Structure formats: C-alpha cells, structure tokens
Amino acid sequence: MARERKLSRRAILGGAAATAAAGATTLAGAPAAQAADAAAAAADRTASVDAVVVGGGLAGLTAARDIAAGGKSVLVLEARDRVGGRVFNLTLPNGSYTEGGGEFIGPTQDRIKALADSLGVATFPTYNTGKNVLLKDGKRTPYATDGLLGSVPPIDVAGLANAAAVQALLDDMAKKVPVGAPWTAAKAAEWDAQTFESWLKANAIIPSAKFLFDVACTSIFSAEPRELSLLYVLFYIAAAGNETTPGTFERLTETADGAQANRFVGGSQQVPLKLAASLGDKVVLGAPVRRIASGAGGRLTVTADGISVSARRVVVALPPPLAARIDFDPLLPALRDQLAQHLPMGAIGKAIAVYDTPFWRADGLNGQVVSDQGAVRSTFDNSPQDGSFGALMGFIESDEMRALDGASEAEVKAAVLKDYVAYFGAKAASPTAFLLQRWDNERFSRGGPVAYGPPGFLTTYGAALRTPTGAVHWAGTETSTYWNGYMDGAVRSGERVAKEVLAAL
C-alpha cells in the first residue's frame, strides 16, 4: 500500500540511533531545544499508514516493531520529547544517570528480558549485600536478609506467624484467579466487592503483621489498601509469574529472586531508546494525539499536534485515564469510557540523593529500608554497578506522595534527606546532587506505576480492557495478563496487540 509520509528525519527522536549510542547526557531523552525543532519540522505534515500507535513507551514501541516486522506500515506518535513513557533516565551532574521511572527486572519477566537481549542491553544485580534497615515505632534495627526469614523484617514472633499465614492464604487465593479473566474466578464477585484493607483487617490481626502488608501494598501499587479491590490484588499476585510459573506475593516484594532482582546497564530507558532507534522515522516526538475520528472507507484519522495521519488501525498504548482524554468520534462505548473513569493512577515519586561514595556499604548496609514513618518508606541502593559513586533512591508513594504534590522541590528534598539521615546516619544529610521525579505532576503520566483497580472494577469493566473498539486496539501494561503494571507487562501487551492488528489488516 502506498503511503504519504513527508516526514523530516528531524521529526523523529532527534537522531534516535545516535541518542541510543550516546553518553548519559542524552540518555534521559532529547533536549528541549531539540524537541522544539522536531515539533516544528513535523508541523503541517500528513501521513497515511496501515497502523498508528499512540504512545512511545515500551508497549507502543513493541507493537510498532512487530507490526513493521509483519510487513505493514506504522507510525508512532509520542506526546513527550522523548520515548519510554514511565521508563525514564535522569541525568546526573557528574554525567552519569539514574533511573527516574521503571527500573527493575526479575525472574519470569521473560518478554522484557528477551527484548533487552535483542537490543544488546545487559543487566546487573541490584545491590543486595549487607543488612536491611527497619525503622518502626521510632526504633532503628539493621537486620540480615540471609537467614531463615530472608528479607522479612524482624517484628514480633506473633506478627511473623500471622504474616506468614496471611501470605500463604493470599497465594492460595491467587491461584484461583485466571490471569486472562480474573472476573471469572469462582469468588470474583465476593472478592471484588471488598477492599484489600477490609480483608487485611479481618486476617492480619496482629498489628505488626498488618504493618508489613501495608508497607508492601504501597510499595507495589503506590496506593493504600483501602483503595484496592481484593480481587485486583489477587490478580496482581497471580500475574507475577509466567505461563509455567505461578505468581506469588513474595516475588512481588523480594529483591534477590524477586521483581527487584536486577537493573539495566545504562539505565532502563536504554531499552526504549534503542528500540525506537531501530524504528527510525516511524517514531514522531512532540506529537500529543488530540483526536481519533472515523473517516471514509473505514479508515481512521488521528490528529496530533503538527501532524494528521490516516490509518486502517489505531493502537492506543496509554494508561487508560490518559487515553480517555483523547476526543473520539464517534464516542467510545459507555462501558469503555467508564472503564477509564474507574481506573485511577497510583501516586508516586522517586527521590535520588547522590554521594561521593556509597558510604552505607562500609557500614554493612545494602541501602534497603522498610519504615513506618516519613515521606520515604522504602529505599534502594541506586549506585552504578562499579560503585564509583553512591546513590540512594527512595520511593515517595500513595498518601505520602499526595501530601507533597503541592510542595516545592526544596521542601520535598528537606523531608527526604531527614528520612535518609534517620535510616543511614549524618552522612546522608549532604548529597552532592539531588534529583526528584514526581510522576503525579508529569503531564503525560499523572501518576504511576500503574492504573489500579478499586472495588467493583474488574467484575464490571475488566472484560473491556483488551477488547478492540472497532478499529481501535488497546495496549499498555494495564492490559497485560502477566506482570501487569511492570515493564514486562508493557512489552507483553505490545506483542499481543500487534498480533491483533496484523490479523485484522
């Protein structure tokens, strides 16, 4: 099929191939001036392709790769001045990088690993040598993670026993939830009618056990237990595996042998950067999609800033709440529109303090914290593989993030460093650099790491998550059956939707 593209090379990644191979200065995405040039170059351009992909994150780029490999013409329209979506490297003053978004990869996350391998992006183990720190009820307790309890914090014996029983029960219940259709579980209606909080109150009856699950919940979902459907939590546990390995709660929370086991050499954004580079001028930046309308001959017209594209099929690879901000003509079916209204984004930020050395290692600590107080309640050692400088990364999540959404960066920094001093000592008070990524305030994300399901969502709207709406197909990590909410889920969704599109073309 002939296609009208008329797109300048400057309307893509700002030289995607060069960017992917360049140093850390460009790893975080195209500079603002470069993006402005790209937008200007794309102005008033038109194109005609077989498929348009809305969103240049891992899901959209994977879909575009597979559609192109299937012999069909494709164009990716990305609103930002960079690719990667919720996967984003932050550039440090020393010229290196740190991960401001999705970061970790672990066992059974097969599709993101295969993609990274195909692009030559290697992984290395997350730093996990030494003791964790528990701060609870004002008491700081370093504890080993290589004993009988593993990384479980040393709470009271009754709490440990209760927590173990609750975790086993959650895993057993999750085995009864089909990852492809959790709303069909035998007890779906019962489980979806209650919050995770109400279930925990009835089962995690020892306060210290309840504390562990509260911290785990905010760490996994960036949402409070009161906000989540029990069925959704069980589905998420079931999805933390693959076609041959059942998901477990422990796999979601663990570092060694868990979802936080490894990081990417060069930072996680290397994966979408190199994938986009392989697509060349099939990727257009600075092109937020405003409207998707049906046209003559069953084709769709996708209107973005500076470009209009005619396509036979459209893939929307955005979080559902953001996809709903596009003007659809004709209107989306009410069920699909209400689906997006019922999926809120988690509230999350990442705060990274940089030091001359990872000084906590000399103190026998691995940089990982569990806390019941502060703006940051879980941390990781984000130092480079060679340990040439130190970086402490803290998650600001859920209620803590919402409380700081309107605060200045200086106020957030002060709150974060106060926590780091409580966890790691006085040396943490004086970083050489401090970086903050507040996803709640990021225009084209408005939260993260995932749009989560409150009570009633899955049983009412779940079946519409992946169902195409005419010639519009839906992708994104929120639509994945395995590793929903993770980079692996995004890649899986892109692979699935590409098969749908190729079968329809």
Of the candidates 400, 315, 391, 393, the residue with the CA atom closest to the CA atom of residue 354: 391
DSSP secondary structure letters along 331-346: PPPHHHHHHHHT-PBP
Which residues, 6+ apart, have CB-to-CB distance to 505 below 8 Å?
50, 51, 72, 312, 313
* Phi, psi values for residue 465, rounded to 5°: -60, -45
* 58-69 vs 487-504: helix crossing angle, rounded to 10: 30
Q: How many Å apart are CA 85 and CA 71, to the nearest integer?
A: 26
Q: What is the pLDDT of residue 151?
A: 83
Q: What is the pLDDT of residue 206?
A: 97
Q: Which amino acid would we find at residue 264?
A: F
Q: What is the pLDDT of residue 46?
A: 75
Backbone CA torsion sign across 448, 455, 177, 199: positive
Q: What is the pLDDT of residue 47?
A: 87
- Rg for the chain, CA atoms, rounded: 22
Q: For 150-186, how does the pLDDT look when each residue is reduced to its tens digit (9 = 90+)? A: 788 999 999 999 999 999 999 999 999 999 999 999 9
Q: What is the pLDDT of residue 295?
A: 87
Of the candidates 361, 356, 439, 360, the residue with the CA atom closest to the CA atom of residue 401: 439
Beta strands per DSSP E along 271-323: 283-284, 289-294, 300-304, 307-316
DSSP secondary structure letters along 52-119: EEE--SHHHHHHHHHHHHTT--EEEE-SSSSS-TT--EEEPTTS-EEESS---B-TT-HHHHHHHHHH
For the chain, 505 residues long, give each residue's pLDDT as a single digit of tens.
Answer: 333 333 433 344 333 333 333 333 233 344 444 444 444 444 457 789 999 999 999 999 999 999 999 999 999 999 999 999 999 999 999 999 999 999 999 999 999 999 999 999 999 999 999 999 999 999 999 999 887 677 889 999 999 999 999 999 999 999 999 999 999 999 999 999 999 999 999 999 999 999 999 999 999 999 999 999 999 999 999 999 999 999 999 999 999 999 999 999 999 999 999 999 999 999 999 999 999 999 888 999 999 999 999 999 999 999 999 999 999 999 999 999 999 999 999 999 999 999 999 999 999 999 999 999 999 999 999 999 999 999 999 999 999 999 999 999 999 999 999 999 999 999 999 999 999 999 999 999 999 999 999 999 999 999 999 999 999 999 999 999 999 999 999 999 999 999 999 999 9
* Phi, psi values for residue 478, rounded to 5°: -65, -15
Task: Decide if 110 contacts 242 (C-beta within 8 A).
Answer: yes
Q: What is the pLDDT of residue 19?
A: 36
* 482 three-state secondary structure: coil
Which residues, 6+ apart, have CB-to-CB distance to 427 below 8 Å?
355, 359
Q: How many Å apart are CA 218 and CA 450, to the nearest integer?
A: 12
Q: Which two tokens stand for residue 63?
A: 């879909």
